[in-house]
């Protein structure tokens, strides 16, 4: 058992055979998509720095349908403590836009002044940072759950071919899928560590 500690030799399963069983590229894409969604969630919902983009994704329900806030009004950062939304293009939607901001879960209390919505930005307290860090951990756990689903789906796909291909082939593919999942989970842990550091300093 001389080779125990060494990296396992790459065994060449013929690519054509693998493609008949499972599209690993697709599995990889699915795992990457889970990581991207987590990054997006972090940057969109868990930032302490205010940017005009912080309100972009708020969906406003108007009588003509649902629209992102940034399509209805011009969002500007007047100062670190104040965002404004200029609704002069769609003044009739000012009230519903203010309501959407208030109900966004971002702890904001907009004030309407004609067609301008002023959104004071609360000072970020230590508690707020800590609660954001908790949310970041919850989001990461949810993403890992999604990742496990991708992995299980792929492994189950491989297992369907048990009777058609050698056990070694099945084992190697399962191992490869597991390695992809491990590396995606490690990437998520890195994102979480960076986010926690940014929030808690």
- Final residue belonging to a domain, choices 64, 88, 120: 120
Q: b/e map of 155-167 (b: 16 or more CB within 10 Å)? A: bebbeebeeebee
Q: Which residues contact 192 (CB under 8 A, 6 or more apart)?
A: 136, 137, 140
Taking the mean position of all CA atoms in its chain, how far away is CA 71? Answer: 22
Is position 104 within any domain? Answer: yes
Task: Check whether residue 139 and residue 190 sit in a common domain.
Answer: yes
pLDDT at site 106: 77
Instruction: Please tell me whether residues 62 and 96 are part of one structural domain.
Output: yes
**Do 168 and 191 belong together in one domain?**
yes
Question: Could you tell me the CATH number of the domain that includes residue 107?
Answer: 3.30.1360.40
Domain that includes residue 100, residue range: 52-120
Question: Domain of 158: which CATH number?
Answer: 1.10.132.20
Rounded Cα–Cα distance for residues 43 and 81 (Å): 19
| Same domain? 32 vs 83 | no
Mark which of 120, 136, 157 sits at the end of a domain.
Answer: 120
- Residue 3 in domain: no
Q: How many domains does the chain have?
A: 2
49 pLDDT tier (thresholds 50, 70, 90): low
Specify if 26 maps to a domain. yes
Residue 177 sits in the same domain as residue 85: no
Whole-number pLDDT of residue 3: 42
Q: Residues 102-151: pLDDT tens digits?
A: 998 777 899 999 999 999 987 778 888 888 899 999 999 999 999 999 99
- Residue 98, in any domain of the structure: yes
Tell whether 75 and 174 lie within a shared domain: no
pLDDT value for 5:
46
Q: Which band of pLDDT confidence, cut at 50, 70 and 90, is reported for residue 4?
A: very low
Number of other residues whose CB lies within 10 A of the CB of residue 22? 20
Given a cut of 70, whether residue 13 has pLDDT beyond it is: no
């Amino acid at each position: 058992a001389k080779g125990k500690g060494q990296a396992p030799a790459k065994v060449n399963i013929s690519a054509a055979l693998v493609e008949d069983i499972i599209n690993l590229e697709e599995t990889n894409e699915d795992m990457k998509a889970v990581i991207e969604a987590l990054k997006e969630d972090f940057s969109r919902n868990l930032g302490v720095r205010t940017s005009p983009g912080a309100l972009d994704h708020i969906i406003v329900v108007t009588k003509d349908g649902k629209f992102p806030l940034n399509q209805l009004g011009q969002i500007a950062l007047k100062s670190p403590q104040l965002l404004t939304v200029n609704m002069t293009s769609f003044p009739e939607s000012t009230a519903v836009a203010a309501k959407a901001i208030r109900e966004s879960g971002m702890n904001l209390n907009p004030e309407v002044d004609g067609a301008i919505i002023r959104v004071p930005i609360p000072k970020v307290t230590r508690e707020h940072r800590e609660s954001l860090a908790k949310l970041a951990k919850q989001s990461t756990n949810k993403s890992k759950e999604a990742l496990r689903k991708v992995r299980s789906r792929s492994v189950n796909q491989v297992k369907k071919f048990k009777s058609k291909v050698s056990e070694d082939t099945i084992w190697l593919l399962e191992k490869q899928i597991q390695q992809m999942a491990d590396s995606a989970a490690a990437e998520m842990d890195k994102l979480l560590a960076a986010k926690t550091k940014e929030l808690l300093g």
